[in-house]
Each structure stands twice: as structure tokens, then as C-alpha cells.
Structure 1
Amino acid sequence: MHSLRLGLVVLAAFVAGGTPAHATSGNHIAASLVAESVSPVPGKEVRIAIRIAPEPGWHGYWSNPGDSGVPTTVRWSAPAGVRFGPLQHPAPTVLEVAGFASYVHAGPHALMVTMKVPSGVALGTRLPVTAEVSWLACSDSLCVPEKARLTLNLVAGKGEKDKVGQAVVSSGLNALPKPAVGAGTMHLADGAMVIVVPVAADPAGAVLFPAQDGAFAATAPQQVRRVGEALEFKIPTTATRVPAQFTGVVRAGGRAYAVHASPAPSALAATQPSVQAQQPVGDISAQADGVAPREAVRRSAASDATEASVTGGQRSVPGSGDGAAVSFLMALALAVIGGLILNVMPCVFPILSLKALGLAKSGQSENAARADALAFTGGTVLVCFALGSLLLLLKAAGTEVGWSFQLQSPYVVTGLLVLTTAIGLNLAGLFELRGASINGAFMSRPGVSGSFWTGALSAFIATPCSGPFMAGALGAAMVLPAPAALAVFAGLGVGMALPFLAIGFVPALRRRLPKPGAWMNTFRHLLAIPMLLTALALAWVLGRQTGVDGLIMGIAIVLAVAIALWWLGVRQRHGRERNWAVLALAAAIAAPLMFKMPAAPAIAAPIVESASRQAFSEERLAALRAKRVPVFVDFTADWCLSCKVNEKVAIETEEVQRAFGAGGVVTLVGDWTRGDPAITRFLASHGRNSIPYYLFYAPAKEPLVLPQILTPGSLSALAKPPAASG
């Protein structure tokens, strides 16, 4: 990755007002708290400044961090009745690194807050204020989550000014963007968002910063010109309608202006389109991904981070209510249904063999069957919960990741390659390890531990690809508060376990299962086939990620482990004691090879392009849209079996390619095999963080979100011009 090094920032020395507490020692960004008066007047407001001082080469983030980063959040504690307003930022600057743009604060600055003291407070009453401040500190090569607990000891009084505090607050207020006089307008033209704001300033060097995420790409070039007493910004975008409102900040001529804009009259009709009209008939998963619920949750979460009212030291969150609750319940229901459907998706079939073998052996008591079912559920829920937790932590640290991020790591792929090969060889009867057998006693035999690990492995291998309903659930989870998001991830695990729960708790279903017998040995050997095919597919993915050298290393690791397991099995069959030295030897061979495994590049290998098939980028999509070219967007990955099935049975068929050629359709392929951050951001902007994901852009029309299971007929019909289809 290329680096962009910031110039050294000369930090000003601040003298505290009141009794400020500075950031925890060792932070790269120091923070302190001051007030314009240490004796605020009851019934009136007092302004408070959170002073931020980054080390040279470090920066924090604006309220909208842009392509990456996390905004500063504050949790206030104060006596009952004391209220705090939203956090106010000075204008940011743009930091571009390796093709990404973020909105940052790179030097000393102050975040402003208004505090109101209740009118009934008696003079002389102590008013201790605590601010728990969290932020992400970044340099050109490292990002570190940091926090500080800041305090102010105020006393209700007559509002005497503190000279130092007043100077800091005055400087902070002067740095805030000044409200522009009047509202602006916005509309779409030629693949660009055109925003006109009443700022009479020199257009040279002017920059527009959107306050809301997703208004336009932070890296998008901005064409600025003066139109009368206003500035016109023309910014390329893939949006097909203007938002209902736009707020932001303009930095121009050494000053900053707070601006807002509404759709121009000609664009008003496009601000509230029917969700149903944007979806193809029969696309249930797309209909469940409406923008409105996601945006409602996002705004609720944003208000949680920027504004709070304090009563008796407890924070109450405005903006949370029935709308957020409904969004959470909808996301949870979609996760459960999506997990259930995931059991029949192509990427889950190999692990179904383990489930089937375990169920076929179940001749247990009622209590044992229920215990197995609950243990299996515990395994699926735990893995989904753990993956969701890690995903949220990585997102909070500013990393661009999405669901199935684990298979973007060659180390994880290698581990799964070893695991699936070992299971396949065990099912084939090459080795037996009674008491520790993957087939006999550890995974698929009846019993709580076996059921738990079967569920855990099922979830880990099954979750990389998303099925119907999952996309809406996972997209909503990424903008819900953390506890609600984790509940959604757990719901996915519950959905995966529903068939096993039904068999465990409904005796009639268990009685329909085949009885154990000699046939099971043959059945077990047959089940080795899909497991070994899965291992072969993982080897192919590893080769695509790391090249020939990485593939050879992966095969060597698998070979070392397979020989060790075979040798242990031979000793066990001859009644000899286990000799764990052979496993230690295999580990000694595998470990250095694993550490020397070539890292997967951040960007996938170039796609072989033609006039009708090109690599995806937002700029290319916008250019094709401006030319009124129909576009089919295919987000795929080598490790996504659902994606590969769709490619073979629909996208790459002669029927579809002939129809696309006749209709002039250009296919843009977004390869997410290695976790391309640009694709991650685009998916996130559409409320998704998983694949497969397909869009069809007809000329001058809203994009269609296509089903995750494609057919040649449905794709061919899309390519027909309007006259031919209707």
C-alpha cells in the first residue's frame, strides 16, 4: 500500500481551565476538558470545549469520517437535570492514502458542546461533569482506538468567566463553520450530483464535505464554479435519486460554511420512489433490504453518538424508539430465516454430510436427543456470534471488511483446507482414531460434545456465502447498536440450527430417520466425496489468493498432517499406544510453512476485460450510466460457491451472453476474493456486507436488485430493450 505522510504539526500548549483531566498516558491524541465559566448560571447554558491535540503525524476524524475511520464519541455524566447538546466539529481536511479519502482533523482543535444547568439548582451546588471520550487515532501506517475519562468540577454561580477557558471556547467557536444564508438545491445530471449552495466565495480550492455518510464518494472529484452568489459543486455519483435533504460543510477561501440543500423542483419526484418499483418480481430478499429502515437505524445510532441527555448520571438516548425496535426485530427475523435457508445453499452442502451421518446414528432417549439439538445450536450460535463480534471490532477500528471476511485470509483458508481434508480422509476410512475421531467420537457421533462441534464447524464453513434474506439482516446489523447487531448474528446461528432443533424436540421427525445398519459404512464413504471436493475447491482458492508458491506450501501442510493422521490410525488399528510425536513432527513441518505463506494482495488479480466484460469501479459504472449503457454488476469471490454456481448455470451461459450482446449490456465484475476495500464500501453504501450481490442498471432507470439465485431466463429478459419487453 502506498503511504501519504502528513507534515509535522506544531502542537499548541493549552493551559487547563477548571480541573481538566487529560487523556490516558500513552495516547497519540491528548484530550482535555474546559468550560468558559467554572460557575455556570442556573437555567442558562455554558459552552464546553473538548481540546484535542494529536501528536505530529497523527490525526482524528470528523463526524463523517469518509472512506475509513471512526468519529469521536462522548458519553456524559452529570447531576440530574443537566443536559448536553450535540458535539460540534470544526471543518475537516481531506486525507488521501492509497486511493482512499478520509475527513480528518490533523492538528490541534476543539470539539464544542453546550451544557444547560437546571433553573432550580441552588447557588454553590457542585456540578461535577465527566466525559468518557473515545476516538480512533491514526498515522499513515497505524490506527489505534483510544479513550480518555475527562472531568470538570463546576459550581453553580453567577457565570464568572474563566480567562483561559473563555479563550479556548472563543477560539473553538470561531473555528466552527458559519451557517450559510438560505438553503441550496441539488439534482442529478449526467451521472453527477449537482449541489448549489449560497456561499459567495472563490471556487478555487473549495471543497464540500457531506455530513451524512453515503451522499457521495469521498474520493470523487469535485468540479466547482461560481454561479452568481453561490457555489455549484458537480460530483460524480452512482446514485439514481437525490436524498430528501443534504447537510454538509463548505471550506472555501480560508473559511468554513455550514450548508444544507433540498432537491430542486425537478428532482422532488425522485426523492421518494416506491421500494417495490425498484425490485424485480419475486425478489423477496431485495424487498427486505429497503433503504428506509436502514437509514432510520443509522440516524438513530448517529444520534446515540452525538447527543445525550443526562439524568442522575445516566445517559438516555434520544432518537431511539419504536422505529429502531421494528428495524431490529425485522433484521432478527430475516437472520433466522436466512440461516434456515442457508442449510440448502450450495456452500453448505459438504457440511450437511456430517449432519446427516450424525442424525442417522441417533437412536437416543428423548432427553439425549434434546441435549444434542441444544448443543448443536450452541455451536452454530457461538461461531456466528464470534464472527459477528470480530467483524464489528474490525469495523470500529476503521477496517473495511464485510461478512465472510475470514475466507479473505490465506491462513484461514489453509486451516480449512487441512480440516476438510482430514474429515474427508476419515470418512473414506483411511484412518480411525477411536476416542478422538473426527467421524467417530469428535464430530458426528451422537453426544453433546460431538453435536456442539458439528454445529460450530457447520457455521464456520457455511457462513461465507449469503442466501436469501441474509443480506438484509447482515446489512442492518452493521448499522444497529452493537448489542442489537450481535443478537442478529446470533439469530443467524439459531436459524441454521432450526432443522436439528426440530428433530431433537419432535419425536415424530426422529422416527422418520433411517435406522442404523451396515449401509451406514458405505454411506459414510460416499460422504467423503463432497468433503474432498470442498478441500479441492479450497486449494483452488488458496492458489488464487497466494499464487503457485502459496498453493505448494498449502499442499505440503496438508500432506504432512495427512501422513501423521494415517500413521496414528495404523498404530491404533494394531492395538499400539498412540505416539503423539508424529503429530508434533507434522506441526513442526507445517508451522514454518504457514508463517511463510505469501500474503494475499489487498486487490484481486486483474480481470480479463473485453468491451462487454470489465472490472468494477464506481467511476466506470458512473461513466457507463452517463452514456446510457445498460450495466449488469456482478459481485463475486472465488470462495463463494453460490457465486460460482450462478456463474456456471446462468451468467456465463451462451443464452445469457447472446442476450447481453444483443442488448449492449456491459458486465462489471467486482472480485471480492481478497476483500477489496472499494467493493466493501460500495456494498456497505447499498446496505450489504455479503455476497453474492447482483444489480442491473437499465438506461435512465432505477437499479434492480436481483435475486441471489439466478436463472438464464431472468437475466436474458433484463437485456431486452423496453420495446421488445413490453
Structure 2
Amino acid sequence: MPHARIFPSIGRQFAAWVLALLASVLLAVPAIAQDSTPAPRAPLFGSDRIAVALYAEGQPVAGEEWLLALHFIPSAPEWHGYWSNPGDAGEGMRLSLDLPPDWQVGEARYPVPKRLVLSGLMNHIYEGPYTILVPVVPGPSAAGFAGPVTGTVDYLACSDICVPQHADLTARTGGDFARWRAAIAPPLDAKARFAIKGETLRIAIPLPASMALSDPHVFVANQRLVAHAAPQTFRRVGDVLVAAIPLDDFGTGKADALEGILAFGDGIGVRFAADLGAVPSGGEPLAGPQDAPSPALWTLILGALAGGLLLNIMPCVFPILSLKAIALARAGESEAKARAEGLAYTAGVVLACLGLGALLLALRAGGEQIGWAFQLQEPGVVVALLVLAAAITANFAGLFELPAISVRVGGERMGAFATGLLAAFVATPCTGPFMAAALGAALLLPVPQALLLFACLGFGLALPFLLLGFVPPLRRMLPKPGAWMERFRRIMAIPMALTALALLWLTVQLGGRPFGLIALVLVIGVVMGLFVTGRLQRAGKLAWPAFGLVAAPFLAFALIGLPSVFEAPSARARESILAAQPFSREALAEARASGQPVFLYFTADWCVTCKVNEAAAIERETTRAAFDQAGVTVLVGDWTARDEAITAFLTEQGAAGVPLYLWYAPNAAAPEQLPQVLTPDLLAEKASGNR
């Protein structure tokens, strides 16, 4: 029968097909162990810069963690790959695995990355071969899984240029899983806490105080949250490490949870997860801007003392020298009185510095972004100082007598304590030489040590007057008291009047012209009241109630009018022959990315030291010519009014106030901080050295 011949033929073909199927199944058995290497699909970009191979550790078992490893091997040392958060540039890995739907793929586990700063941009990279582990938990279908695991991965290889890479993956057995697992940053066994205040992310990471940290750095996994290239500050609070990291100016500014890696240095670190919570303040500083070692406390104390002492000759203190000069002359009348006034004056200065320091620390602990001299950024405080300067001018000019600061021969003992309070309040806004490190550290130290530094600053400021009170030979060098003191007092009304004019100008800068006009009306009313008071004093009549009657209407007018006309100052470009642009982090990053040197300085209209430096060293034709020839970009931060972005940046640089001068050499990882007192040719020499 024809059918008999056909069916045996079909049977033989079927048998051959079955045998072939059995053979393929037998060949597939090793493939379950991931040894098979089928022909890859055509790659999109190739992987010739950094090759990658996928490995599997053993056999998959349902419900048990199974590790896959992506082993990357650069073709040459100059090629590097990226962490999950690449930083300011680059791209992380994108992995796709072909797995049954009931299998779960966990978060990839990475080694501790390295930092690479190029043109002011921070990259989180891996150099040389590196391995990323991917945990997988197989589902019930693992029992019948025939393998192999396949997938694709897209990543970036960079050197001088960046090249997209793509690889088709097929898992294989083998690989050095013990070494790869040891290279992965281990998880911290306790939850960390974090808080965002102002422009800063603060993280409290549980870490034994005995653990040494040679070069700490936090790699934050959250995208668009922190400024990666900004300096990070670290402090110890018992067994907690507190890290402070500036936020990204163009980021989200918020997070519900936080993940990252804390690097200890030398490629060692731990990965952590953090929830929102309380982060302790204070603590012992470990590392700060540019990871510089923190100065010893005794050096900070000496710096605060020297800084306070030098404030006596700094230009910004000249407005109060009149008070101190008259007080020093009066100190020669008797030894007991000189000592008493020396102690009272010192107490006033130290108390004022402690009060300002304590208020500064309290406000910063509450999340306020403020720095040293914050009082002169408050329009109300400046108006009060304006009225006070006008009153002192009237007193020196002889319009009235105020026993607290009177220096009349034979009159009441001078109120040295009040003079000390006023001297410190007016003088301390200037951050002179030696003070910068001490006050910058005070913002990071525990409260008792910080207050000690503020007290030492006040003691240094008061030291000359205190020495005159207790060292008779020094007092004998002073002129003898006499009628000349009354003439000297009237002459000293001139610098105090100039101080009042400067404060009036600052009032306009802070609140606008209408604000300044009303403040001037208030001053006129107060001076009129003092004039009437002086007339009554000379007639031997009760004087101060009359002052209240005259000044009260002006005061009421000011209390109503000043808030209603106040105009907050807006960012403005300062007039400069250097074509300086207003500071912002974006402008700084753009300027540094150009590959040219950058000069960044911070100033304020109330900082006399800043103004002297600008006249003597910055706004000079020789500086402009040198900058033009070297292609220097100039940025200026105006801190006259409160500016949280500038305050945060100053804190990152370890500065408590202005002036601050930074020089960024091309492609430098960190700026060079220039002296606070600039010599005329310093900037021109810096520019010439970069050509």
C-alpha cells in the first residue's frame, strides 16, 4: 500500500525530530548552569571601550537570593565607568534582564566609587576593572527554569570623550564572586537620619567614634539633590557622624528617603539608607572645606585673641576710636579708677561678643543661614545704630550731656561698660586677619568651645584698654587730663558724624530711598530732642522728660512709616572696572568650565576692610590689564543684605563673614583662599602666574 510506505517515512522523520529535540535538551542541561554562549544580537553601539560579561553564582533556587555579576573591563586605563548617580556629568548603567515574571530583581550593589573633578564638575567613577552585583530572588518557576539568563546593558565609557556602550548579555558560570562581593560597599546595620535646612542637607550616620576616617566623603544616590562638587563638612557627636552637604541650586531641594555610600578613604566605605529625622548639632569637627585638617583649639584661641587685638587698628573700627581715645585719656586720673574702668570696659566688650556669638549660634541651629556681622544686614538694627551714632555725635559736639559716655573734666565717671558694649557691637562686623579661621571654626564647634572663641575675640579687642588700666607705666605715657579733652571731644564729633552719614547711606542700600528718608526724619527728631535736653541741662532744669515729648512723635512716625515703605534690595551688579558679574553657583560653574582662571570675591557695603581692599587692590587699572591679558573671569557676591545662598557658600569655605577672596586656577579641584588684606599687586601677580 502506498500509505504503508508513506507512514514509515513519516515515522522515521518523526523519530529523527524527537532525537534531535532530545539532543537539544541534553545540550541545554549545561546551559542551566549558564555555560552556553549563544550568538549575541547585533549591538547598538558596541562595547569596545569597556567590555562587560555577565556571571551567575551557582544555580537559582526559588525564594533564595541568587547573585548575578556584571564584570566591566576597560580596554585601556584612560576609560572609566560610572556609579548609579554619576554626579554632575555622565550616565549610570541601564540594565534589562530577561527573567520569568515571578522573579524579583533587587537594587544593584556597587563598590565605593572615586571622585573625579573636571572643570569644577564632580564625577563618581570607577577606574580599571570593576564589578556590579545584582541580587535576584527566583520565584516558583525556578524549578523548571532551563536558562540561560540573558539581557542587555547600556552604559557610558569616558576619557577625554564619552562613548555610549551597549552589550547583549548571556550569563555564564565562574567568576571570582568572593573577591567581587568583598569589593562591594557593605550595608550599614542601622538606619541613618537626615534633615534639610535652608540650603544644606545634614545626615546623621551611626558610626563608632573609634573608627578612623582618613578622607570621608558621602556619595548621595538621590539624583538632583546635592551639589556634588561642593565641600562637605563632617563632625563627630559621640557614635554619630554628622555630614553637612550643600544642596544643588537647581535640584529638587527635598527628599522623603535618602540612600548613599559613606567613603572612609582608600576605596573603603559603607552604604546606608536614611529616613527623615532629627540630626544632632555641634560635635567635634573632622573634615571641612577642601578636607583640610581642623586647627587645634589652642591655635583657634590664639587666632581669636590676635584677631580681636588687631581690630583696634583695622579701618572698620575707626568710628569708635574716638570713644576709646577719650576713655584712655581719662584712665590717667587715678589708679583705682583706671583699673575699674579697664575691667568695666572689658566686661562690656566680652559680654557683647558673647551675646552676638550666642545669638548667631542659636539662629543657625534653628536653620537660619546667617554669618558674622548679621546684625548689619538687618535694616532695623542699622536704623538703631544710625540714631545712636547721631546721638553720640550730638554729645561730642556739646549739644547735651549723657553721664554714661560723658568725658567732661570733673564730671561723672565714664560709663566704660556701656562704651565696651558699643565698641564691640560696632567693631566686630569686620573679620580681620587671624579671625577668619577662628570664627569659621566657631560655627562648627560644640557650643561651649564656640562661645570660648567669641569671648577670646572680645578679650583681644579689650586688651589694650585693660593693660592701660593695670599697667601704670603705660598710663603715664598718656597726656595729662585737662581742658584739651573738651576740645578733643568736639573734634571727635567729626568722625562720628561721618559714621552717621555712612549708616544713613547703608540704610538706603538696605531699605530704599523712602526708607532712608524716614530714618533721616527720625534722626532729626532725636537730635532736636537732645538739643532741647542740653538747653535744659545747662539751665539746671529737669531735662529728659522734655526729650521724650519732642522725640516721641518722630519715633511713632518712624515705627509706622519704616515698615510700610521698606523695599528689599534686589540682586544688583556692582560697578567695577573688572566687569564683575553677580555671584551664583551656576555662574561659578560656567566660569570654571571655560578653563580660564576665576577670581571670586565677597564684599558688603558696611565692611570697611572690603572697601579698602577694593580701592587698593581690586579696582585698579593694573589689575584690570593683568586680568584682561590672562582671561580672568571675575564674580562678586554682595552680602550687604542677607543672602542665604552666599551665607551657605561662605560656610562651605570655612568663612564666617566678609571679606573673602577666592582664586580658581584653571582645572583646579579647589580654590585658593587669598589673604583678607590684599596688597596692591597681589591680584595682578596671580593673573600673571596663570598665563
Same fold (TM over 0.5): yes
Letter in 2 for 1:708: Q
Name the SS for the 1:712 alignment partner.
coil
Residues 1:672 and 2:642 are matched in the alignment: no
CA–CA distance in structure 2, aligned partners of residues 611 and 466 of structure 1: 24
The 1:256/1:615 distance shift into structure 2, 3 A limit, reads closer
The Cα of 1:218 is off from its aligned counterpart by: 6.1
Instruction: Output aligned runs, 1:39-438, within 5 Å.
Output: 180=109, 182-196=111-125, 239=230, 257-261=259-263, 297-299=284-286, 327-429=296-398, 431-433=399-401, 436=403, 438=405
Name the SS for the 1:352 alignment partner.
helix
The 1:300/1:719 distance shift into structure 2, 3 A limit, reads closer
Residues 1:546 and 2:546 are matched in the alignment: no
Instruction: Output aligned runs, 1:652-671, within 5 Å.
Output: 652-671=619-638
CA–CA distance in structure 1, aligned partners of residues 643 and 257 of structure 2: 36
CA–CA distance in structure 1, aligned partners of residues 386 and 154 of structure 2: 57
Residues 1:619 and 2:606 are matched in the alignment: no
The 1:523/1:242 distance shift into structure 2, 3 A limit, reads closer
The 1:505/1:612 distance shift into structure 2, 3 A limit, reads same
Larger-Rg structure: 2
CA–CA distance in structure 2, aligned partners of residues 535 and 424 of structure 1: 8
CA–CA distance in structure 2, aligned partners of residues 246 and 436 of structure 1: 51
CA–CA distance in structure 2, aligned partners of residues 248 and 237 of structure 1: 12
The 1:582/1:427 distance shift into structure 2, 3 A limit, reads closer
The Cα of 1:642 is off from its aligned counterpart by: 0.9
Counterpart of 2:143 in structure 1 is none
Stretch moving more, 494-503 or 567-576? 567-576
CA–CA distance in structure 2, aligned partners of residues 470 and 652 of structure 1: 25
The Cα of 1:525 is off from its aligned counterpart by: 1.6
| Contact 1:238–1:621 (Cα < 8 Å) also in 2 | no
The 1:213/1:712 distance shift into structure 2, 3 A limit, reads farther
| Contact 1:650–1:712 (Cα < 8 Å) also in 2 | yes
The 1:445/1:559 distance shift into structure 2, 3 A limit, reads same
The 1:189/1:515 distance shift into structure 2, 3 A limit, reads same
The 1:714/1:497 distance shift into structure 2, 3 A limit, reads same
Cα RMSD over matched residues?
A: 4.2
Instruction: Output aligned runs, 1:490-505, within 5 Å.
Output: 490-505=455-470
Name the SS for the 1:336 alignment partner.
helix
Task: Choose from 646, 649, 652 the match for 1:685.
Answer: 652
The Cα of 1:203 is off from its aligned counterpart by: 11
Show CA shifts across 1:463-520 (max 9, x none): 1111001111111111111111111111111000110111111110000001122322
CA–CA distance in structure 2, aligned partners of residues 187 and 200 of structure 1: 25
| Contact 2:573–2:580 (Cα < 8 Å) also in 1 | no
The Cα of 1:599 is off from its aligned counterpart by: 4.3
Name the SS for the 1:419 alignment partner.
helix
Task: Choose from 460, 472, 475 the match for 1:510.
Answer: 475
CA–CA distance in structure 2, aligned partners of residues 458 and 203 of structure 1: 65
Instruction: Output aligned runs, 1:692-711, within 5 Å.
Output: 692-701=659-668, 702-711=670-679
Name the SS for the 1:195 alignment partner.
strand
Residues 1:485 and 2:482 are matched in the alignment: no
| Contact 1:616–1:668 (Cα < 8 Å) also in 2 | yes
CA–CA distance in structure 2, aligned partners of residues 231 and 427 of structure 1: 63
Counterpart of 1:645 in structure 2 is 612
The Cα of 1:370 is off from its aligned counterpart by: 1.3
| Contact 2:116–2:123 (Cα < 8 Å) also in 1 | yes
The Cα of 1:263 is off from its aligned counterpart by: 7.2
The Cα of 1:382 is off from its aligned counterpart by: 0.5
The Cα of 1:673 is off from its aligned counterpart by: 0.7
CA–CA distance in structure 2, aligned partners of residues 460 and 193 of structure 1: 41
Counterpart of 1:288 in structure 2 is none
The 1:657/1:445 distance shift into structure 2, 3 A limit, reads farther
Name the SS for the 1:298 alignment partner.
strand
| Contact 1:608–1:614 (Cα < 8 Å) also in 2 | no
CA–CA distance in structure 2, aligned partners of residues 660 and 210 of structure 1: 47
Counterpart of 2:47 in structure 1 is none
The 1:609/1:426 distance shift into structure 2, 3 A limit, reads closer
Letter in 1 for 2:261: V
Residues 1:719 and 2:691 are matched in the alignment: no
The 1:538/1:181 distance shift into structure 2, 3 A limit, reads same
CA–CA distance in structure 1, aligned partners of residues 535 and 412 of structure 2: 25
CA–CA distance in structure 1, aligned partners of residues 193 and 688 of structure 2: 40
5+ residue gaps, structure 1, are: 1-176, 220-229, 266-294, 302-322
Name the SS for the 1:632 alignment partner.
strand
CA–CA distance in structure 2, aligned partners of residues 339 and 630 of structure 1: 34
Counterpart of 1:468 in structure 2 is 433
CA–CA distance in structure 1, aligned partners of residues 650 and 244 of structure 2: 23
Letter in 2 for 1:620: A
The 1:502/1:255 distance shift into structure 2, 3 A limit, reads closer
The 1:606/1:660 distance shift into structure 2, 3 A limit, reads closer
Name the SS for the 2:332 alignment partner.
coil
CA–CA distance in structure 2, aligned partners of residues 365 and 255 of structure 1: 68
Show CA shifts across 1:660-712 (max 9, x none): 22222121110001111000000001111111111111212342211111122
| Contact 1:609–1:615 (Cα < 8 Å) also in 2 | no
For normalisation by structure 1, the TM-score amounts to 0.59
Q: Percent identity?
A: 42
CA–CA distance in structure 2, aligned partners of residues 181 and 546 of structure 1: 53
The Cα of 1:629 is off from its aligned counterpart by: 1.8
| Contact 2:603–2:639 (Cα < 8 Å) also in 1 | yes
CA–CA distance in structure 2, aligned partners of residues 539 and 695 of structure 1: 31
The Cα of 1:362 is off from its aligned counterpart by: 2.6
Show CA shifts across 1:233-272 (max 9, x none): 79865559999x99999x9x9997542447799xxxxxxx
The 1:183/1:585 distance shift into structure 2, 3 A limit, reads same
Counterpart of 1:567 in structure 2 is 532
The 1:611/1:650 distance shift into structure 2, 3 A limit, reads closer
| Contact 2:469–2:475 (Cα < 8 Å) also in 1 | yes
Show CA shifts across 1:547-599 (max 9, x none): 11111011001000000000111122233332513324413321341353244
How many pairs align?
Answer: 478
The 1:548/1:578 distance shift into structure 2, 3 A limit, reads same
| Contact 2:591–2:598 (Cα < 8 Å) also in 1 | yes
| Contact 1:246–1:260 (Cα < 8 Å) also in 2 | no
The Cα of 1:603 is off from its aligned counterpart by: 5.2
Name the SS for the 1:187 alignment partner.
strand
CA–CA distance in structure 1, aligned partners of residues 622 and 354 of structure 2: 42
CA–CA distance in structure 1, aligned partners of residues 369 and 256 of structure 2: 32
Counterpart of 1:636 in structure 2 is 603
CA–CA distance in structure 1, aligned partners of residues 609 and 525 of structure 2: 31
The Cα of 1:341 is off from its aligned counterpart by: 0.5
Show CA shifts across 1:274-324 (max 9, x none): xxxxxxxxxxxxxxxxxxxxx9933499xxxxxxxxxxxxxxxxxxxxx99
| Contact 1:615–1:668 (Cα < 8 Å) also in 2 | yes
